[in-house]
Amino acid sequence: MPTLFDPKATYEYVLSTDREKPKEKQTVFTFRVFSKRKWKDLIKLDDAFHNEETPEEQIDAADSIVEMGLVEWANWPKFEYSKSNRVELDNNLTLEETAELVSVVIGQGVTKEDRKKSNSPSDSDTESSETAKTVQDSDNAKASQPSENQ
């Protein structure tokens, strides 16, 4: 039977900043496993993330990637999960935490740490930090490009 026929075809993830906390205090994000059709949508969002002109547009694209995979969360203080709670993601996650979740969605639950444990080569040793750095340094990259008049 295809994996996607299983309604429990999901995976859970705890942010690295929460892993030292007691289990009952860890926010657990549950993400869906993607079909090939959803992968096509994800690739478009990921391309948009890397090609956006402004940091605000990059952050919006990152949020869209997280939302595309997010099914629910547990142990988020004060807030129950609902698709209309995007504002809670905006108000309560740091840029680095958002980048970490983007990496998890794109990796479909296989993290950089998982790849290290299995001795598999990583696409990048700095996936999450590079994603955050891309957003933070986009203006610097534009400024360092030579102008056409030079």
Q: How confident is the model at residue 57 (pLDDT cuts 50, 70, 90)?
A: confident
Total structural domains within the chain? 1
Instruction: Identify the pLDDT of residue 149.
Output: 47
Q: What is the pTM of this model?
A: 0.67
pLDDT beyond 50 at 140: no
Does a structural domain hold residue 69? yes
Percent of the chain scoring above 90 in pLDDT = 20
End-to-end CA distance of the chain: 61
Torsion of Cα atoms, 116 then 39 then 65 then 9, to 10°: -70
Q: What is the mean pLDDT of the chain?
A: 74
Neighbours of 86 (CB within 10 A): 15
Average pLDDT over residues 14-43: 90
Tokens of 38: 């959803």
**Phi, psi (rounded to 5 degrees) for 22:** -60, 150
Does a structural domain hold residue 143? no
Does a structural domain hold residue 97? yes
Does a structural domain hold residue 150? no
Instruction: Identify the pLDDT of residue 117.
Output: 62
Counting beta carbons within 10 angstroms of the beta carbon of residue 29, is it exposed (0 to 12), middle (13 to 18) or buried (19 or more)? buried
Does a structural domain hold residue 20? yes
Does a structural domain hold residue 71? yes
* Structural domain containing residue 51: 3-137
The amino acid sitting at 16 is: S
pLDDT beyond 50 at 119: yes
pLDDT beyond 80 at 61: yes
Average pLDDT over residues 31-43: 89
